[in-house]
Structure 1
Amino acid sequence: MLALSLAPAPAATNQVDQLLKTEPGYVPALMAAGALSEQRGDSSAARIAYEKALARFPDFFPAKVRIAILGAAQPAFDRKAFDLAQQARTALPNDPELAKALGILVYRNGGETNRSVSLLKQSAIARPNDAELLYYLGMAQLQSKDQTGGRQSLQKSLEAGLRPDLAAEARKALAGSK
């Protein structure tokens, strides 16, 4: 993956494509293809590449983590991403990006708001200015009846530059929790 950060995207893409033509199941190339697809904003292609890596090595945690993160970035609950995030969490219990993804997925699944709050708080230690993380933390805190914490987290998310669709929801939640 280091080579990806050093090579320009088109050159890296060509190298990865060539590798996958000669060896379609080569996991390092599949992971690189996924990362390049993510860089281009093509989460569907990225997920396909990561799922191919998982098909080859079902316990390959880096692919599980990337699928979990991609699933958390989607607006709807993603059961497969949720399951993979939980599996990856056993191997990477201190990964802040994975904690964020799992916290968001737990929140979307409903019912375990305290777990969602715990995961998102853990992630927020390493990512204190992550607007999306703060939004989901605030919403989970409100659901778990922590009105003060929820309001503070939502306000911080707005100050951190929350994207417009979530900002509208945050403002609505703030107005409703007075």
Structure 2
Amino acid sequence: MGRTLRASPDGSGADHGQNMTVLIVGDDAVARALAERFDRRGAGVVLVGADAEAIEAARAAGLTAHRLDLTDAGALRAVLEGVTVAVVSTAADGVNLLAAQALARDVECVVVRVNDPRNHVAFEALDADRVCATTVLAGALAETAELERPARRRRRRMVS
């Protein structure tokens, strides 16, 4: 079974992307940022999404990108040649669940974004690692607020 993952403080991976090909399923800002991050680290990257404009923008940025139906298992499997890691990251948990189910059979490592923590149970049976976007973002915001609070107080005291 998969496990729920927390973001590492530096966002680094064990091999920093070298010697791997990553399939990014999604075409929103998060998926695009992931694709660019893996590309900068030297990984092979294939981005797939349903939005024609987003796919064209990814291609214009030099990424390998394909437009396809993200809930079509056959279409997803057609782009798997050489893929060792798949990151399923759309804003729709239903799409993420279907895509991760399709990929978990054929890809060594699948990581799936869960947007709404109430949907977490639906993802538990997957042979995939899960990252709850809401929990990670809430934690990062809270941590930033706590870290910034003393600095703001000091600035206020210095100004007044």
TM-score (norm 1): 0.29
Higher helix share: 1
Higher relative contact order (CA 8 A, sep 6+): 2
Higher strand share: 2
TM-score (norm 2): 0.32
